[in-house]
Structure 1
């Protein structure tokens, strides 16, 4: 399952109709959540049936397509199911009790309520919301996929306009790339975005920090406007566009860098960081969020599947403290950026951690299998088999023997 996104081009009346559909979807979701809270033993199927009662009770809810109402109920149930799952796993802290939506930005259709044109460049919504026909602007080509493969259609409102997403059920097309015979360990940081086991560093772009001055200026303009006025809405939109640009810059950097790393190496080891816990440190939270480590990690996994490479997450415990040469622990604070050990090893702190990450990943993969490889289940529920690990492990072992720092 993957997603193609297009920008929707239409008239102001159509954009208003999309807004009404989004508000209706939010209303149905909140009503389903209230119904679940007030009635014990309610399940996902009961919430789907409840949407039909809401359509009879509220005329504006009946304007929305029935599958879109069911999709709103499924969104509500997914939040409820995640809350139960966290309770069973005894996740520390808050368990994520479902909350009522206040500013929902999307509405989702299933198999009905929409129709694509023959050239696949226009989409028509056929429910009673009167959205009509919207032009699709984008670089993706939908001709390669059958209509039966499109499982969901999403309309999303962003600061710079409306977008249409197509959720397509299909196997990820793998690209044949010649093996490079290289393996690498990656240690992410704040001074540099990452340092690899070869000592190479990639600078941290700090997109939010660079745009912070402009964001503060736009925020002041919002504060000066009268609440509820058109000028305030315009100022909010300008602020939202700036935030959207920063998020897109961060994503573009993560995607391009992850693609380059995976294509250049057959084996990539990276830290399995719990970013949600790390941002609890209020001194570093803004810098950690600005770096986008989680986004980079997810794209590493995606490109590993796409190019048939191996990407292994490694627990980050003691990777900075252990010596990559002798294995002894050398305690150091975050301000100490050079690793100095009694055995004579002196190298950059992040490079030492990257080497330890690579060694741990190779040992872990060696324990799993020496010839065949390992399987991994991705976010879509598809099982991926990584093959040809024998050569990678041999190259990793030879690298460990030849490198004086290991």
Structure 2
């Protein structure tokens, strides 16, 4: 399964409709979770049936695509099944009892509710939320894949805009020549990792390098009046700072992992949790 992400462009009314769709998906997910709490013996299929009850009861829920409502119910069941699995495995500590979402940032469509244009550069959402046609901008090319290979389409809200993710059902393989090398990795706190040859990779510490900018952005949020537009703008700026750090961390980890995998045939590492080592 490949996930391709594109940034979307539209007008303010379209982005407001996206926000309404995300809030509706959150409502459906929380309602299904409440339904399971009141009726613990209900299963996944009962939650999917309950989506039809919500659509008949609440007009704003009926505006969302039916398969998008089912996808929200599946999210609720994923949290429930994860809790059951943790109980069966007798994991020490908290078992992860399902919680209600307060700030959901995505809505997921399945095979209906959207239509990709022939040029693969724009997508139209056809449910009653009124999102309409959004332009796509990204480096990936969707012409290599058929429409029936796209199993899921997600609208994701981030600090710097709205993104569309395409989940494509395809088997990806890479041909690499054997190197005959083996390596052991020891993850640490001061160093990013130390391998069995004594080579250490320093921790980039992206958060520490941008700490001064973070503090300044946080002070600006604290000085603004709660509920004002200026506070919303300051919060958005702070969110962009955090988003940049998360992208730097992911880019560093992915590139470094790819280099290690391509250079060695066998990689051994300890299954440790950094949270327990701190």
2:77 paired residue number? 77
Q: Write the deviation string for residues 269-323 of structure 1: whole angstroms up to 9, x where unpaired.
A: 1221123433xxxxx4xxxxxxxxxxxxxxxxxxxxxxxxxxxxxxxxxxxxxxx
1:224 paired residue number? 223
Q: Write the deviation string for residues 205-235 of structure 1: whole angstroms up to 9, x where unpaired.
A: 0011111121111111101100000000000
Q: For 1:145-164, what aligned pairs fall within 5 Å after superposition?
A: 145-164=145-164
Q: For 1:228-243, what aligned pairs fall within 5 Å after superposition?
A: 228-243=227-242
2:246 paired residue number? 247
1:42 paired residue number? 42
Q: Describe the SS at the equivalent of 2:254.
A: helix
2:97 paired residue number? 97
Q: Give 1:142 deviation, angstroms.
A: 1.0
What is the rounded CA distance, in whole Å, between the counterparts of 2:234 and 2:86 in structure 1? 39
Higher normalized contact order (CA 8 Å, seq sep 6+, divided by chain length): 2
2:124 paired residue number? 124
Q: Write the deviation string for residues 330-379 of structure 1: whole angstroms up to 9, x where unpaired.
A: xxxxxxxxxxxxxxxxxxxxxxxxxxxxxxxxxxxxxxxxxxxxxxxxxx
2:181 paired residue number? 182
| Number of residue pairs aligned between Structure 1 and Structure 2 | 278
**Which is greater in Rg?**
1
2:213 paired residue number? 214
1:63 paired residue number? 63
Q: Give 1:110 deviation, angstroms.
A: 0.5
Q: Write the deviation string for residues 133-159 of structure 1: whole angstroms up to 9, x where unpaired.
A: 111111111111111111110000000
Q: Write the deviation string for residues 120-173 of structure 1: whole angstroms up to 9, x where unpaired.
A: 11110000001001111111111111111111100000000000001111112x
1:265 paired residue number? 264
Q: TM-score, length-normalised on structure 1?
A: 0.67
Q: Describe the SS at the equivalent of 1:139.
A: coil
Q: Describe the SS at the equivalent of 2:119.
A: coil
2:276 paired residue number? 277
1:144 paired residue number? 144
Q: TM-score, length-normalised on structure 2?
A: 0.97
1:7 paired residue number? 7
What is the rounded CA distance, in whole Å, between the counterparts of 1:77 and 1:191 in structure 2? 39
Q: Give 1:34 deviation, angstroms.
A: 0.9
Q: Give 1:40 deviation, angstroms.
A: 3.3
2:203 paired residue number? 204
**Deviation larger for 20-29 or 207-216:** 207-216
What runs of 5+ residues in structure 1 fail to find an aligned partner? Answer: 279-283, 285-406
Deviating above 4 A after TM superposition, structure 1's stretches of 4 or more consecutive aligned residues are none
What is the rounded CA distance, in whole Å, between the counterparts of 1:64 and 1:125 in structure 2? 10
Q: Give 1:239 deviation, angstroms.
A: 0.4
Q: For 1:236-385, what aligned pairs fall within 5 Å after superposition?
A: 236-278=235-277, 284=278
2:16 paired residue number? 16
CA RMSD of superposed structures (Å): 1.1
What is the rounded CA distance, in whole Å, between the counterparts of 1:100 and 1:196 in structure 2? 42
1:195 paired residue number? 194
